[in-house]
Amino acid sequence: MKRSALLKHLRDRGCVLLREGGRHSWWHNPTLNKRSAIPRHSEIPDILAKEICKDLGMESVEHVSASRRD
């Protein structure tokens, strides 16, 4: 999955960029007070994107894409 698609998914669900680390960007879900690190790669493995969404307490990108197709 493209990093930009994952970041758009996070922004659309209310997450905000907390800070930039050495090799990761830290994102925060203020509603649930959860945060997660997102690596700065142009491509992020789908399994990692799913874990990031889980860490932030939201549905995964795949789940959202599948429900929009129906």
- Token pair 């795949």: residue: 62
Q: How confident is the model at residue 63 (pLDDT cuts 50, 70, 90)?
A: low
59 contacts: CB under 8 Å, gap ≥ 6: 53
> For residue range 49-60, what is the model confidence (pLDDT) as tens digits?
999 999 999 998
pLDDT at residue number 67: 54
The residue to which tokens 């789908």 are assigned:
46
**Digit-coded pLDDT (tens) for 3-47:** 999 999 999 999 999 999 999 999 999 999 999 999 999 999 999
- What the chain holds in terms of domains, given with CATH numbers, is 3-69 (3.30.920.30)
> What integer pLDDT is reported at residue 64 of this predicted model?
60
Cβ–Cβ < 8 Å for 55, 6 = no
Distance CA 36, CA 69 (A): 28
